[in-house]
A and B are shown apart, each in its own frame.
Chain A
Amino acid sequence: MIKVTIDGREVELENPVTVLEAAKQAGVIIPTLCYFEGLTPFGGCRLCLVEVEKLPRLQTSCTIMTADGMVVRTETDQIKAARRSILEFLLINHPLDCPFCDKAGECDLQDLVALYGPEAGRFAEGKRRHPESFDDPIIVRNMERCVLCTRCVRMCDGPQGAYAISVTGRGSHSFVEPFSGGKYNCEYCGNCLTVCPVGAIMSRLHRHSYRPWFVEKEIETVCGFCGVGCSMVLQMRENSIIRAIPRAGVGFNKGLLCVRGRFGYENVESEEQLTTPLMKVDGDLKPVSWEEAITFITESLKEIKDAFGGKAIGAVASGRCTNEDNYMLQKFIRFVLGSNNIDSSARNYYAPAEAYLERIFGQGITANLISGIANSDGVFVVGGDPTAINPILGLQIRASCRGGGKIIALGAPGGLKRFVAYELMPTPYSEEIILSAIVGRLLKGKALSGENTTVEAKLRSLKIPSDEDLGMTGISSEDIVRASDDLAGMATPVVVIGPDIIQRERASKNLARIFLLSERPNYQGVMDMGCLPDFLPGGRPVELEMFRHQIEGALGLKAPQDKGLTLFEMINEAETGGLKALYVMGENPLFNIPDSAKVKKALGNLDLLVVQDVHLTETSGIADVVLPATAWPEKEGTFTNLERRVQRVRKARRGRMASYGRDDWKIIADIAERFGMTKQYLRVEDVWEEITHVSALHTGLGYEDIAEGKAVWPYCGKPLRGMEGDFSVEGLDGLPRIRGSKKPYLMIERSLYHSGTFSRRSKALLSIYPEPYLMINPLLSERLGLAEGEKARISNERGVLELKVKLNEDVSDSQVFLSNTFEGAGAMGLIGFGIDSVIGSLYIKDNTVRVEKVRV
């Protein structure tokens, strides 16, 4: 026990902490400027100086550790004088332009001077000048205001790990600058904005458009971009979002946000937001009243149900909608219309992988806490760049590296490039061989714990690739040995699996924790709400009578007993005429499923296509009815993130709709009522209440628990199924054949700066990444005679696109990358797909393209 006396108050400490921390515990406030919780101590501003008995010099309380018997004084005349002079020093070169500085009102320097500063300065010389930099579209740098606390640099080099900025120059001519010069070439996380205590690093988005005291309300909610589910605060004025900021200490993102979360919110403020229902009249979408639209949908669905049965109707749920929205859609389709044909784009990779892994391991496998990654001693990243898909999860991997963890990547490491011990870069589509070889090696080394005999038995039948097999992958057997030994040596390994490689997963029990990357905020919720053709809410298999009867009993409604169609099967059925109606909520299948031509044909075949969305999309363009729905910050509800934490989404603004706000669940409930559903839902809480009765997973989980952050898996102590199921693994005794292609493969770029079509209307994100481009390796570009910025034409039998070229030496020269974001230039359009026979996921095939230079 350490006993310290601070200003006469005694504090007892278990472990040595800094004097600053001890003072906080004693209730003594010491002013600070360069100190920021979570960043490495710096000791530069000298504002937190204190007197420590027996030490000759004043000490910075943020750096000196407490020792037993230490006597500290923080309010002596000497200390007060020191604070006064430090603040006088800080102001001599400060422009004192508070009247038009956006920071005024929430500026640490302003507050500190008011509390501790001198009444007047004595500096009579000219101030140092440094012009404000507007070189960047998002971040304005005003280095005249900078106090060189380096919080931004320590944030960038520390938790963010982007290493994008540094102090340049010396003495009072030191300035913080990006290494790239004027424009930042960074990850645009904006976390430097959070930590800047003054108006030196500011956002351009709302420059001179508000004052901190204009903020009328602050809404604590969950980010709507990806599956990490970071806590954030929307600062509102009137009906408009002023800023999206993190809140220190709230949520597992610990005050960090990524570019999409911080700057992407403008998409919901877009003028293009739908305000009224639309119906196709003579081939064009025309505004109609809600009554007209809903009557039309009801009558059409009734006709189809009567003529072809419920099986002719299908629905697509959305990873961007809340649990309540998805639950309601599921209830409507399954229990009201009598169809199990409900699925979502989670089918692309997330849902099948999740279900499959659960069957192997017998437990909610992605339900590990994200914050645990940082403490692991090794991370194996497979098939995707977590720092782009789920940036805040990616930061945890970087933190693991900083803590001595070994990061190994299979495939291009992307934003982990600086952090990986090494990467294995196999030729396209040979990842399975590499994984088989690694597992083979692990088995040989008896690294398996042997707890899960089913897994072990399956793995024993695995065909281990020979050196010859490996020859085609471009990875040597020495590399396999190294990677396997490293993995086997990890005590707390984490495996992160990205969308690029959902194939047969052969990770052994030794690979303890698995994180699936989720591109959408609520893929997990979509599944837990039963928006799957084979699972009821709460992850209960629809084919098991006992479970079905339980839920039917709770609802007083019947559900069909056979499995429904998956997303891809619905497309196929629509194409052949078996499916007559499709209800699409918050999804854009025409753009987000490969082979657009096929999808377009299939959707065109339908008798009724209903699309419910915030904006017009490719799919709504061919719909019969389009219903305007509220956007993510306009509604109440819950999201379930990729660690299966349920979090509250809160309404920050009113929707743009002229009439009353129409949340997705409400629209669907209205339609369901026309079909005779008697249950009334007044508020979103009523929907959640029903969920807690229907889903065994969520029993007893109230909104209050969720708001208090208690909704961490397993919510009420009940695991999902709690047993190891048998699972089928086909083709373990064989290996895929790698066929080389002279033409490069077209791959989907999963950019940090965009989130599919969702970010198309985010001005800030567009200013960073304004137009589609084709990312190619410099070697390939040389072969093709293409230079950076020139136009390339890519084509195959599915279509032709013309795109600007961007060089990137981190991609393989047998691949080209294109994002699936921009209208008319989506990668999916040129990609073919197949359906994995075991786990039902989409796999990409026939995606080679011809790349040539466009001659002007």
Chain B
Amino acid sequence: MEKFLLKNIENPDSASLEEYQRVGGYKSLNKALQLEPSDIIAQVKAAGLRGRGGAGFPTGMKWDFASRDVKFPKYLICNADEGEPGTFKDRPILEKNPHLLIEGMAISAHALKSDRGYIYLRGEYPYARVVLEKAIEEAYAKGYLGDNIAGKGSGFHLSVHQGAGAYICGEETALIESIEGWRGQPRIKPPFPVNVGAWGMPTVVNNVETLANIPLIVAIGAEKYSAIGNPECPGPKLFSVSCCVETPGVYELPMGITLKEIIYDHAGGVRGGRKLKAVIPGGISAPVLPPDGVDCPMDFVNLPKRGSMLGSGAVMVFDDTVCMVKVCWRAMSFFEHESCGKCTPCREGTGWMRNILKRIEGGFGRDNDIELLQDISLSIIGKTFCPLGDGAAGVVLGFIKNFSDEFRYHITNKKCMVSKDL
């Protein structure tokens, strides 16, 4: 498939404006500025683009809500707080193709009649900040950002706001709190940010990859775009493949490609030809799939049918040398560390489960620990303030459902099922 999001990134100068323009960059912006904002929103709706951050909310609909709100100014925020273990799909765009994002944001801003945008960048991406800020400077110099974009009278100002390293700030309302200078914790919804967002104004928060898809939609039109991949959630998708594969990395592939194709055709198969044991298809919050799950198409429609989710499209592959109890414990350590502390079940439940998992992994598990873990998970699911806690509990339930033997072995034999010799 022809690459669009990662086009030209092998070129060492791909981040420069010159190089971006050389391969056709900013043409979509010029085209979009000729269009009525409502036409662009209609196109994005018709294209069927769904948010790439994890929830898969239809982007056009989100924009529509925001554009219907009569309050001004409106804010456009790019969510570049890519912080989930296994997820690094946005990084190549941020570091190698920043002008694609800027172009996407400028078009979106025109569509939303927003004159102020922020890129909320993950605290641990210092290099991306340097690249983005340089690219923004170049775009201002060329008139792609500023008071009068490309001489068309439409104004848009953009800057980078770097987070301080909290996963929760990837949740859009926590992100807005953080931008406003408060402690990053999710807000009560409703009202939704499209109506009451940053500083109380209508705000659209879109993922990097979502915004990077916009120039393509404008360039090729909604019809052609919706023909890419699964028609129910079309478009190119970035998959960050990691752990036990021969060639980990970020792959741009059509939505709906099977896990099997990603692992074996693109990522070089399981490391050392070993046996596949488990796959987490969408970042650490997505419940784990057993090996027979690899025939599942990777999209927002099919993965939920298998009890998992596409999430950010971060594929984590585990072979038979990996202990599932340990993976689960490590995952829970992440959730405990990143739980913001706002709501009781997530704050207390993640820490409790981490303790139990650590105990099982260390050979001190108790007879009813599995039931206890399941019970705690069920006490969390559906009762938390935001999806972080639900995700954490779902992960535990996923591991126990698919690998209960391994958990039980750990408890009974006080050691790991995976031989140290492997």
Which of B97-105, B250-258, B265-273, B348-356 lies at the interface with chain A? B348-356
Nearest Cβ on chain B to A73's Cβ, whole angstroms? 15
Query: Chain A residues near B338 (CB, 8 Å)?
Result: 170-171
Known: A63-B188, A166-B183. A86 touches B341 (CB 8 A): no
| Contact A82 B183, beta carbon cutoff 8 Å | no
Query: Chain A residues near B366 (CB, 8 Å)?
Result: 124
Query: Chain B residues near A166 (CB, 8 Å)?
Result: 183
| Contact B188 A43, beta carbon cutoff 8 Å | yes
| Contact B344 A46, beta carbon cutoff 8 Å | yes
CA distance A169 to B342 in the complex (A): 11
Which residues from 320 to 356 on chain B have a C-beta closer than 8 Å to any C-beta of chain A? 336-345, 347-352, 355-356
Known: A170-B166, A171-B347, A172-B351. A85 touches B379 (CB 8 A): yes
What's the dominant secondary structure at chain A's contact region?
loop
Which of A43, A46, A170, A174: most chain B Cβ within 10 A? A170
Which residues from 8 to 58 on chain A have a C-beta closer than 8 Å to any C-beta of chain B? 41-47, 49, 57-58
* Chain A residue at minimum C-beta to C-beta distance from B355: A125
Nearest Cβ on chain A to B285's Cβ, whole angstroms? 16
CA distance A262 to B77 in the complex (A): 45
What's the dominant secondary structure at chain B's contact region?
helix
| Contact A171 B188, beta carbon cutoff 8 Å | no
Query: Chain A residues near B376 (CB, 8 Å)?
Result: 85
Query: Chain A residues near B342 (CB, 8 Å)?
Result: 42, 44, 148
| Contact A93 B382, beta carbon cutoff 8 Å | no
Over the window 219-230 of chain B, the binary record of Cβ atoms lying under 8 Å from chain A Cβ atoms (1 yes, 0 no) is: 000000000000
| Contact A44 B343, beta carbon cutoff 8 Å | yes
| Contact A169 B385, beta carbon cutoff 8 Å | no
Query: Chain B residues near A148 (CB, 8 Å)?
Result: 341-342, 344, 347
| Contact B188 A41, beta carbon cutoff 8 Å | yes
CA distance A173 to B337 in the complex (A): 9
B384 within 8 A of A: yes
B68 within 8 A of A: no
Nearest Cβ on chain A to B372's Cβ, whole angstroms? 6
Partner of B336, one of A82, A90, A92, A171: A171
CA distance A173 to B340 in the complex (A): 9
* Chain A residue at minimum C-beta to C-beta distance from B384: A46
* Chain B residue at minimum C-beta to C-beta distance from A93: B348
Which residues from 145 to 190 on chain A have a C-beta closer than 8 Å to any C-beta of chain B? 147-148, 166-167, 169-174
| Contact B344 A89, beta carbon cutoff 8 Å | yes
Known: A44-B342, A92-B352, A166-B183. A172 touches B347 (CB 8 A): yes
CA distance A49 to B345 in the complex (A): 12
Known: A85-B345, A148-B341, A166-B183. A172 touches B383 (CB 8 A): no
Q: Residues of B within 8 Å of A, CB-based: how many?
A: 30
| Contact A89 B348, beta carbon cutoff 8 Å | yes
Query: Chain B residues near A124 (CB, 8 Å)?
Result: 366
| Contact A167 B344, beta carbon cutoff 8 Å | no
CA distance A128 to B359 in the complex (A): 16
Total A-B residue contacts, Cβ distance less than 8 Å: 92
Query: Chain A residues near B337 (CB, 8 Å)?
Result: 170-171
* Chain B residue at minimum C-beta to C-beta distance from A171: B339
Query: Chain A residues near B349 (CB, 8 Å)?
Result: 89
Nearest Cβ on chain A to B336's Cβ, whole angstroms? 6
| Contact B345 A89, beta carbon cutoff 8 Å | yes
Partner of A46, one of B188, B343, B359: B343
Known: A58-B382, A85-B379, A122-B372. A172 touches B348 (CB 8 A): yes
Which residues from 374 to 402 on chain B have a C-beta closer than 8 Å to any C-beta of chain A? 376, 379, 382-385
Nearest Cβ on chain A to B352's Cβ, whole angstroms? 6
Nearest Cβ on chain B to A34's Cβ, whole angstroms? 9
Nearest Cβ on chain A to B300's Cβ, whole angstroms? 18
A296 within 8 A of B: no
Query: Chain B residues near A89 (CB, 8 Å)?
Result: 344-345, 347-349, 352, 379
| Contact B379 A125, beta carbon cutoff 8 Å | no
A681 within 8 A of B: no
| Contact B382 A46, beta carbon cutoff 8 Å | no
CA distance A123 to B347 in the complex (A): 15
Which residues from 75 to 129 on chain A have a C-beta closer than 8 Å to any C-beta of chain B? 81-82, 85-86, 88-90, 92-93, 122-125, 128
| Contact A172 B341, beta carbon cutoff 8 Å | yes
| Contact B385 A44, beta carbon cutoff 8 Å | yes
CA distance A551 to B348 in the complex (A): 71
Query: Chain B residues near A122 (CB, 8 Å)?
Result: 372
Nearest Cβ on chain A to B360's Cβ, whole angstroms? 12
| Contact A171 B379, beta carbon cutoff 8 Å | no
Query: Chain A residues near B352 (CB, 8 Å)?
Result: 89, 92, 123, 125
Partner of B383, one of A49, A92, A174: A49
Nearest Cβ on chain A to B166's Cβ, whole angstroms? 7
Query: Chain B residues near A46 (CB, 8 Å)?
Result: 343-345, 383-385
CA distance A41 to B183 in the complex (A): 16
Query: Chain B residues near A90 (CB, 8 Å)?
Result: 344, 348
Query: Chain A residues near B355 (CB, 8 Å)?
Result: 125
CA distance A122 to B367 in the complex (A): 13
Which of A45, A46, A86, A171: most chain B Cβ within 10 A? A171
CA distance A170 to B188 in the complex (A): 19
CA distance A174 to B348 in the complex (A): 11
| Contact B382 A171, beta carbon cutoff 8 Å | no
Known: A171-B338, A172-B348. A58 touches B383 (CB 8 A): yes
CA distance A122 to B379 in the complex (A): 13
CA distance A122 to B372 in the complex (A): 8
CA distance A468 to B401 in the complex (A): 84
* Chain A residue at minimum C-beta to C-beta distance from B342: A44
Nearest Cβ on chain B to A615's Cβ, whole angstroms? 46
| Contact B340 A170, beta carbon cutoff 8 Å | yes
Query: Chain A residues near B166 (CB, 8 Å)?
Result: 170
Which residues from 534 to 593 on chain A have a C-beta closer than 8 Å to any C-beta of chain B? none
Nearest Cβ on chain A to B70's Cβ, whole angstroms? 18
Which residues from 426 to 456 on chain A have a C-beta closer than 8 Å to any C-beta of chain B? none
Partner of A171, one of B351, B359, B385: B351
* Chain A residue at minimum C-beta to C-beta distance from B376: A85
CA distance A171 to B339 in the complex (A): 5
Nearest Cβ on chain A to B91's Cβ, whole angstroms? 24
CA distance A45 to B341 in the complex (A): 10
Which of B344, B351, B382: most chain A Cβ within 10 A? B344
* Chain B residue at minimum C-beta to C-beta distance from A89: B348
Query: Chain B residues near A47 (CB, 8 Å)?
Result: 344
CA distance A167 to B372 in the complex (A): 30
Query: Chain A residues near B188 (CB, 8 Å)?
Result: 41-43, 63
Nearest Cβ on chain B to A269's Cβ, whole angstroms? 40
| Contact A172 B343, beta carbon cutoff 8 Å | no
Over the window 178-190 of chain B, the binary record of Cβ atoms lying under 8 Å from chain A Cβ atoms (1 yes, 0 no) is: 0000010000100
| Contact A170 B339, beta carbon cutoff 8 Å | yes
| Contact B347 A82, beta carbon cutoff 8 Å | no
CA distance A532 to B40 in the complex (A): 76
CA distance A49 to B344 in the complex (A): 12
Which of A47, A92, A172: most chain B Cβ within 10 A? A172
CA distance A41 to B191 in the complex (A): 13
Nearest Cβ on chain B to A112's Cβ, whole angstroms? 12
Query: Chain B residues near A170 (CB, 8 Å)?
Result: 166, 337-341
CA distance A790 to B42 in the complex (A): 71
Nearest Cβ on chain A to B211's Cβ, whole angstroms? 28
Nearest Cβ on chain A to B2's Cβ, whole angstroms? 40
Interchain residue pairs A-B with the least CB separation, the first 5: A174-B341, A85-B379, A89-B348, A171-B339, A125-B355
Q: Could you list 26 A-B pairs, sorted by A, with CB under 8 Å? A: A41-B188, A42-B342, A44-B342, A44-B385, A45-B344, A46-B343, A46-B344, A46-B384, A63-B188, A82-B379, A82-B383, A85-B379, A86-B344, A86-B379, A86-B383, A89-B347, A89-B348, A89-B349, A92-B352, A122-B372, A148-B342, A166-B183, A169-B341, A171-B339, A171-B350, A174-B340
| Beyond A89-B345, A122-B372, A174-B347, 13 additional pairs, beta carbon < 8 A | A42-B342, A43-B385, A46-B345, A47-B344, A86-B383, A92-B348, A92-B352, A125-B359, A148-B344, A170-B340, A171-B338, A171-B347, A172-B350
